[in-house]
């Protein structure tokens, strides 16, 4: 049994708190911390009521303040920190974990506030420090990144001698009834999808304009949805860890109404991340926009439909070409009924808890900084379905790509 500190009280933090509390045999004491402690209390009341967990605490912390983090970690004494706040805070929380001697897990790679740039170099640079301390840092243990890396690891371990083509396909086939809303933090979401895209081909990155490459793809239980090539951080680690990959791409679906709103937001300057002067104060337009958009953590009620996320892979097995598709579909309504959060938060939070369980139970181990595909995929996937995210796989199919 272990103590765990969860940092972040948004939709994903809610799911992680629920899922950890469902397993008191592993997570014997839980603390949920955020800059806004009232959010922690709100989640705690629901979690304790629904799960009956006996040792659930709340705390206030500024995740960008290392001394505050260190003080909180030392006072609570967790074995690990599950970081599901903002990716801006990855490095400060990693610093605090190193200073206090606890393990670390997150769901998204670090990015600086002033540049929409997504890469693992900042966190990979911590390899020596975590190794020297004998600590484990698990990077990108959500769904994508996260489960998509574990799916790829399963394919490589059991079904392919060489992976040549990898397409990660992410469809939200749900309807929340809002004119415009993002399914996770609006600031991070809009930064992510408005930057130039890129994909890996023949040993180099190929850059594209936002939404330049697109086509309809079919998703289980959902059907055909227009899908767009974006850059996503797991591509960077996957092509590094599986050098046989000739091409790797990430596809995500967007509705036309969403894209229309996004174009307006960009055209009027509301997606800017540089400061502007307003009434004598500096504000960041995108941060202001975040404040007026719907809270992703409150989209779950009456959210219909499903998400469908998976990996479509082509490669060689026993000298023959093979195609393979592995995926999960998640119901927004089922996620909300269980945790009070919508499906996108659920598909991120469940893997984060499962990854933490893997570490605490000794299934995943090692000193240093790791992406999830570097661990054994089997014990993780054995638990993922029972934890709420069942998965399926098919062979020898038309990948459409």
User: If you write DSSP's letter for every residue of 282-348 in order, what string do you get?
Assistant: EE-HHHHHHHHSPPGGG--TT-BSEEEEEEEEEEEETTEEEEEEEEEEEEHHHHHHHHSS-HHHHHH
pLDDT band at 174 (very low <50, low <70, confident <90, very high): confident
pLDDT band at 223 (very low <50, low <70, confident <90, very high): very high
CB atoms within 10 A of CB 216: 11
pLDDT one-digit tens code per residue, 312-334 = 999 999 999 999 999 999 999 99
pTM, whole model, 2 decimals?
0.92
Torsion of CA 187, 331, 156, 237, to 10 degrees: 10
- CA dist., res. 140 & res. 126, Å (int): 15
| Omega within 30 of 0 (cis) for the link into 145 | yes
- CA dist., res. 340 & res. 335, Å (int): 7
CB atoms within 10 A of CB 280: 5
For tokens 């790829």, the residue is: 152
The SS3 of residue 281 is strand
Q: What is the DSSP string of 378-398?
A: HHHHHHHTTTT---EEEES--
Q: What is the mean pLDDT of the chain?
A: 92
Query: Nearest Cα to 345, choosing from 1, 49, 19?
Result: 19
Q: What is the pLDDT of residue 382?
A: 98
Tell whether the model's pLDDT for residue 194 goes beyond 90.
Answer: no
Structural domains in the chain, CATH included, are 147-330+386-395 (3.30.360.10)
- CA dist., res. 211 & res. 270, Å (int): 19
Q: What is the pLDDT of residue 296?
A: 66
The SS3 of residue 41 is helix
Tell whether the model's pLDDT for residue 184 goes beyond 60.
Answer: no
Tell whether the model's pLDDT for residue 182 goes beyond 70.
Answer: no
Among 91-100, 300-309, 339-348, where is mean pLDDT lowest? 300-309
pLDDT band at 251 (very low <50, low <70, confident <90, very high): very high
- CA dist., res. 354 & res. 364, Å (int): 11
């Amino acid at each position: 049994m272990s103590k765990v500190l969860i940092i972040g009280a948004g939709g994903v933090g809610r799911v992680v708190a629920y899922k950890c509390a469902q397993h008191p045999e592993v997570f014997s004491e839980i603390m949920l911390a955020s800059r806004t402690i009232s959010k922690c209390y709100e989640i705690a009341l629901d979690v304790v009521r629904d799960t009956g967990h006996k040792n659930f605490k709340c705390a206030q912390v500024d995740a960008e303040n290392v001394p505050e983090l260190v003080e909180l970690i030392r006072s609570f004494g967790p074995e690990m920190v599950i970081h599901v706040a903002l990716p801006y805070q990855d490095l400060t929380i990693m610093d605090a974990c190193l200073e206090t001697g606890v393990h670390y897990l997150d769901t998204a790679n670090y990015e600086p506030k002033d540049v929409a740039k997504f890469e693992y170099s900042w966190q990979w640079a911590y390899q020596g420090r975590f190794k020297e301390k004998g600590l484990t840092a698990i990077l990108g243990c959500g769904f994508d990144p996260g489960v998509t890396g574990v799916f790829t690891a399963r394919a490589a371990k059991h079904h392919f001698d060489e992976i040549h083509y990898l397409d990660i396909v992410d469809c939200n086939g749900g309807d929340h009834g809002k004119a415009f809303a993002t399914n996770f933090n609006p600031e991070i979401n809009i930064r992510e999808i408005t930057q130039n895209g890129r994909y890996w081909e023949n040993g180099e990155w190929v850059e594209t304009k936002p939404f330049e490459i697109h086509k309809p793809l079919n998703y289980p239980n959902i059907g055909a949805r227009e899908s767009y090539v974006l850059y996503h951080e797991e591509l960077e680690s996957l092509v590094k860890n599986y050098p046989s990959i000739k091409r790797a791409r990430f596809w995500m679906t967007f509705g036309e109404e969403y894209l229309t709103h996004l174009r307006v937001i960009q055209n009027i300057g509301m997606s800017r991340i540089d400061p502007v002067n307003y009434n004598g104060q500096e504000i960041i337009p995108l941060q202001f926009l975040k404040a007026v958009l719907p809270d992703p953590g409150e989209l779950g009620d009456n959210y219909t439909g499903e998400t469908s996320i998976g990996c479509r892979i082509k490669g060689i097995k026993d000298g023959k070409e093979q195609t393979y598709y592995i995926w999960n579909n998640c119901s927004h309504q089922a996620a909300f009924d269980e945790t009070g959060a919508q499906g996108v938060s659920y598909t991120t939070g469940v893997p984060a808890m499962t990854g933490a369980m893997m570490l605490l139970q000794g299934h995943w181990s090692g000193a240093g900084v790791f992406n999830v595909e570097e661990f054994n995929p089997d014990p993780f996937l054995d638990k993922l379905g029972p934890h709420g995210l069942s998965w399926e796989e098919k062979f020898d199919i038309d990948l459409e790509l």
